[in-house]
Structure 1
């Protein structure tokens, strides 16, 4: 029981502070009239609830010291105070509340109809809204005290230059749950991701950094449970300090914490950074009278969330509520959480979901100098790790790509759209006879050239470099790379929303046939019958299927080549390297099933694509000119600095009209490193259906050219092909080539 004689000389830190003879529990509830600490024994020896009255301290903090409390203790809070939803006040002591600073949770939440009725904080009686006083304690997760003592064994963060970074976006469960080389009991867990078979695979692939979809503790949305589905991606946070227990092989809270740390240590040992996708824009306490009260909403709804004049949630996230990071206590919560994951888990960076919501000023306009964004840059811990913004939300003027401050990199959706247009949407339009301009008319090859060289128009500035652009063609949200080449419309029927969810702006091309052969389903088990990239059979329909698969695979190689050889930081979505399909589902957030998992049973064509991806990443490492840390000077060439020069299919400079004409479909980009010790590189991108005759520009060294990669080939070349400068040769359409000067 608590020590009533304990006097707090200064306000403790929020959360649990372990001391030699017990633990201090501290929580922020600025508008509460009283707060009780609720103790439930330990995970090993659960007990009935006992309540401890907490002492009110400065700044809305409440604290209690409990002798003998330590690791394993399970607990929660109950907040007393005004019940006035129209004023945003939702205190209800019947609702057990999770500590927002809890380092672990006792169990994942399982939504059942009777459970949901116990965690909502109000109901309707006629036209009046009344407080629901049913006790929620038996139905909600409890906080668990854990120790952060851990043998890191000399763990050292990988020293990855920004210019050398290659990000691999993956889901902890989905990456390994079907992997045959991971021990069965570890598949789909943190320990499975740490297994040598996975760390070796990632290292051999050539990536430097693993970006994990959310691993903060989260819960399923009730509407998904009613559909028999669950939240797979994890963008529905319950606790910002606790790892998601369902991804662990361990069954106890301390074991979960230690398993996550072991995973980070193993990835570091393999030379791989760990970046976490984090969700500080909203929580699982979704807005409105039907929203659950699980933590912040019951402790201090007024300070925690952005509210309208009648106490309603202001939603710029599309998820029901928006955390009010303008409030000091909430800003501190976010900063403390980030530092917790860096200091206690040794992670190397963060990707901020819907980051514009974190930078909205008091008037709700986005401000790159918003307090939270400035605080991250100034923080001595956070300023030393990678910070990546998803530069949009769904609020007014929510698209802000290129507008985040120095110190943040940004997902570059302009790169994604340009690459998809050039290699897919424009060609789809041409194949239908809609003209060479494509379905998304742009500026010819000018925009493509800008994306290849680091998107200076978006992320340029005196304090920013090309590495501020996180280049990607696909992400967890949307079609996979394989599905971009096989579907022109989304197929999200499995999500239970009549295919209304997910974007319709996919800029994809099915190459004339909708879907993969694997969309034929075996009625005996409901599983796909063949691999995504397989063309099967011989003669007739079999030859047509093989030709279709070959054309789709070439489109994949074209997009991979553009992504992995452009200036900036490439992000590869897990499974794209071997043509993973989601069978046309472009919003698989609720598909904890083979639709959302990586399938490691690969066809020969998929193995060739994997070899191609490895080859492209090896070329990226080989050619430092493609990883130059600064923007290329262009016409302001500087001695000793690499530069880029542009040529038409004829091997001469492009005219202004050619730059902007939609009919220009061939671009040669010479990354000239002749004034440095590096190798020069020529990229030839031919985005047309038909072949073209191309004249190579003069080699910087006066000799010929070696073709080190040609996307028209299904696998990496066994030896380089030599072509003389000024020679003309036929380039298949559509395709991409990589050449380097030959001194032979």
Structure 2
């Protein structure tokens, strides 16, 4: 049995620090009247082996309660109890019967068999030492970045994933060869901060089976990796395995971006559970309305963190620094990032202190910062989010690309702007194309396969009577809802998938691919499967072989982008670098319902990396892009080009392998005869067969 020794300890840093004479515990609570520190022999112990009362003056400095405890070892568990008034209208929700997690716990144990009235989650003492073996951040430039958004568990939990450690951090690393073949330079992981995934969120109305939180957008401990993503139950194994994943990915040049949640917690609204922040100081950590028991909800999850309060701001900044410096993370995607710019009353700040701190922090200076520049309170800040340091999920790119290829009238001008890096959104605020994270599909909404397979969402299995998830996904089924055995329907769907992937590859900005879109992963029409920890969300790796044509197309597509620096440049096109034209060769009329048009890109960047630049072909990489979103083939009059001639690189209307060609396979196009592009198709031509 452990024998503990207790002395005053120090108030900083907050959290737990291993000192030679013991572990220093420090926790913030301004309004608690008394705080107890509970020490357990292990996480599953029913009773604490020591209860340390921190009420004595030597254990409190200002609003911080602290103690130095000797005689402890790694793997032991601890918790806090905070006592004070129960007055929700005043933001006081103290209940000394509840064990509270340390807000800065580096690892947590989640009770595998909780009940609604007995939710035990305990903080753990864990060894942070790790041999990084000399690896460090790859430091990829934005202009060479290709992001793959995925879920740690969903990526490899299916039996056909071919990995030894299914559904874990280690399983992600085992997929390295596949990611490298695809050309991925960064993976964006859906939340890995410890979250509550044990108690049911509801039940499937058809099967009656319980539904559990799968996505992870309900954190309970922001510093701790989710323990269920480890391959063993050994305390702290999630830290070692997360770091092992990071080390292996970095060694192979792949960065890791965390989808991180600082906007709300799993504690929900007035009737939600208490895990940590609510029990320690509800009025400080959360936004409240006219009465403190009325939580302001800009997250859609019942509560909103008071992000610009100095205490909460420091908490978030310390958390980011920890993931960056200690866990070696390369960047962050901030969920519902507009919330980070709201004040204590919920108003949007013009110069939010937290956002400025993140952008200017010296430790975070090299990290990639991505904002989901909106929230459910009505804020939409795409194109104007908090300065040039931030990249943004470009929701306009997603919607305009889907609508153009669906054939919606009047979309040609918006589509052309998205290809150019969205200058209408970003140039007016001094930003660049690399501030735009371009995507056609993400975890929020339909997969790319489902965008061309369903016109309406199929969310009944979520148990919310199909009310959840977006109602309009700008999708189409092309003849029948769901799977089809009609060859012409499947061919058209595949072509539309290729069109949208190709648009992603040719557009200036940073492309993001939703994991599995390259092999037609489906969610069976569910556009909000946050609670579907099953085959609806898991990757079916058998689709890689069944859709090998699309996988091949995607690999070659992004390989071609990598070899064409003009497409990924970090500046907007100059007017002289692009010429738009209608199929007739005249200037397009953007005011009309234009479904077919083209452009020539002739930029100095076209010459970079040209294999035979020294051989006297100055325009060998000039590009011609042709788009046809109509239901009929269109004949284009091609612009005149130098003696090298136009050569076909890609035509999505052609069967493989002619849909995308290597340089040795390209045939010269007879300019005098024009070029006929099939219905709903995209073509790319280059000047010179030896071009990338």
Instruction: Give the alignment's TM-score, normalised by structure 2.
Output: 0.92
| Alignment correspondent of 2:116 | 116
**Counterpart check, 1:89 vs 2:92:** yes
C-alpha contact (below 8 Å) 2:508/2:569 kept by paired residues: yes
Would you say how many aligned residue pairs link Structure 1 and Structure 2? 661
Query: How much has 1:110 moved relative to structure 2?
Result: 4.6
Q: Deviations over 1:117-141 (max 9, x none)?
A: 34xxxxxxxxxxxxxxxxxxxx311
Pick aligned residue for 1:6 from 2, 5, 8: 8
| Alignment correspondent of 1:281 | 263
Change (3 A) 1:61 1:674: closer
Q: Deviations over 1:346-396 (max 9, x none)?
A: 11000000001111134533235201000001100112100000011111x
Pick aligned residue for 2:185 from 201, 204, 208: 208
C-alpha contact (below 8 Å) 1:232/1:589 kept by paired residues: yes
Pick aligned residue for 2:272 from 278, 286, 291: 291
C-alpha contact (below 8 Å) 2:214/2:530 kept by paired residues: yes
CA distance, structure 1, for counterparts of residue 220 and residue 37 of structure 2:
19
Structure 1 stretch displaced more, 156-165 or 671-680:
671-680
Change (3 A) 1:491 1:743: closer
Task: Provide structure 1 residue ranges, at least 5 long, that are not aligned to the other structure.
Answer: 119-138, 427-436, 518-534, 536-544, 638-642
Q: Deviations over 1:625-656 (max 9, x none)?
A: 1011111121xx4xxxxx222111122332xx
Query: How much has 1:247 moved relative to structure 2?
Result: 1.3
| Alignment correspondent of 2:415 | 448
| Alignment correspondent of 1:555 | 496
Pick aligned residue for 1:626 from 567, 587, 592: 567
| Alignment correspondent of 1:689 | 631
User: 1:151-230 to 2 correspondence within 5 Å?
Assistant: 151-178=131-158, 180=160, 182-184=162-164, 186-195=165-174, 198-220=175-197, 224-225=201-202, 228-230=210-212
**Counterpart check, 1:80 vs 2:83:** yes
CA distance, structure 2, for counterparts of residue 511 and residue 75 of structure 1:
57
CA distance, structure 1, for counterparts of residue 684 and residue 334 of structure 2:
34
| Alignment correspondent of 2:595 | 665
Query: How much has 1:62 moved relative to structure 2?
Result: 0.8
Partner secondary structure for residue 461 of structure 2: helix
CA distance, structure 2, for counterparts of residue 86 and residue 371 of structure 1:
28
CA distance, structure 2, for counterparts of residue 88 and residue 282 of structure 1:
16
Pick aligned residue for 2:129 from 146, 149, 161: 149
Partner secondary structure for residue 224 of structure 2: strand
**Counterpart check, 1:378 vs 2:345:** no
CA distance, structure 1, for counterparts of residue 61 and residue 189 of structure 2:
38
C-alpha contact (below 8 Å) 2:257/2:332 kept by paired residues: yes
| Alignment correspondent of 1:36 | 36
Query: How much has 1:292 moved relative to structure 2?
Result: 0.6
Partner secondary structure for residue 75 of structure 1: strand
CA distance, structure 1, for counterparts of residue 7 and residue 323 of structure 2:
34
Q: Deviations over 1:573-595 (max 9, x none)?
A: 00000111111111111111011
| Alignment correspondent of 1:388 | 370
Change (3 A) 1:401 1:676: closer
**Counterpart check, 1:502 vs 2:469:** yes
CA distance, structure 1, for counterparts of residue 242 and residue 405 of structure 2:
40
Query: How much has 1:44 moved relative to structure 2?
Result: 9.3
CA distance, structure 2, for counterparts of residue 601 and residue 644 of structure 1:
42
| Alignment correspondent of 2:381 | 400
CA distance, structure 2, for counterparts of residue 301 and residue 177 of structure 1:
37
| Alignment correspondent of 1:483 | 450
Q: Deviations over 1:48-79 (max 9, x none)?
A: 34211225544411101101224212000000
Q: Deviations over 1:543-582 (max 9, x none)?
A: xx12211110001000110012100001100000011111
C-alpha contact (below 8 Å) 2:321/2:364 kept by paired residues: yes
**Counterpart check, 1:720 vs 2:666:** yes
User: 1:420-431 to 2 correspondence within 5 Å?
Assistant: 420-424=402-406, 426=408
Query: How much has 1:226 moved relative to structure 2?
Result: 5.2
RMSD over aligned Cα atoms: 1.9
Partner secondary structure for residue 460 of structure 1: helix
Change (3 A) 1:617 1:368: farther
User: 1:590-601 to 2 correspondence within 5 Å?
Assistant: 590-601=531-542
Change (3 A) 1:493 1:44: closer
| Alignment correspondent of 2:520 | 579
CA distance, structure 2, for counterparts of residue 201 and residue 619 of structure 1:
18
| Alignment correspondent of 1:466 | 433
C-alpha contact (below 8 Å) 1:698/1:726 kept by paired residues: no
Structure 1 stretch displaced more, 234-243 or 53-62:
53-62
Structure 1 stretch displaced more, 331-340 or 46-55:
46-55
Q: Deviations over 1:703-736 (max 9, x none)?
A: 3111111111243435213113354121101100
Partner secondary structure for residue 723 of structure 1: coil
Partner secondary structure for residue 211 of structure 2: coil
CA distance, structure 2, for counterparts of residue 181 and residue 306 of structure 1:
43
Structure 1 stretch displaced more, 42-51 or 417-426:
42-51
Pick aligned residue for 1:741 from 670, 687, 692: 687
Q: Deviations over 1:261-283 (max 9, x none)?
A: 00111111221100000111000
**Counterpart check, 1:698 vs 2:628:** no
CA distance, structure 2, for counterparts of residue 406 and residue 238 of structure 1:
31
Partner secondary structure for residue 48 of structure 2: strand
Query: How much has 1:328 moved relative to structure 2?
Result: 1.2
CA distance, structure 1, for counterparts of residue 686 and residue 407 of structure 2:
30
Task: Provide structure 2 residue ranges, at least 5 long, that are not aligned to the other structure.
Answer: 205-209, 609-620
Q: Deviations over 1:394-421 (max 9, x none)?
A: 11x4111112122110000100010000
CA distance, structure 2, for counterparts of residue 491 and residue 173 of structure 1:
23
CA distance, structure 1, for counterparts of residue 250 and residue 544 of structure 2:
31
Query: How much has 1:327 moved relative to structure 2?
Result: 1.2
Q: Deviations over 1:518-566 (max 9, x none)?
A: xxxxxxxxxxxxxxxxx5xxxxxxxxx1221111000100011001210
CA distance, structure 1, for counterparts of residue 63 and residue 528 of structure 2:
41
Structure 1 stretch displaced more, 343-352 or 42-51:
42-51
Partner secondary structure for residue 69 of structure 1: coil
C-alpha contact (below 8 Å) 2:455/2:475 kept by paired residues: yes
Pick aligned residue for 2:328 from 335, 346, 352: 346
| Alignment correspondent of 1:315 | 297
C-alpha contact (below 8 Å) 2:264/2:301 kept by paired residues: yes
Q: Deviations over 1:269-311 (max 9, x none)?
A: 22110000011100000111x2111100000000000012211
CA distance, structure 2, for counterparts of residue 358 and residue 173 of structure 1:
28
| Alignment correspondent of 1:302 | 283
CA distance, structure 2, for counterparts of residue 81 and residue 56 of structure 1:
17
C-alpha contact (below 8 Å) 2:7/2:69 kept by paired residues: no
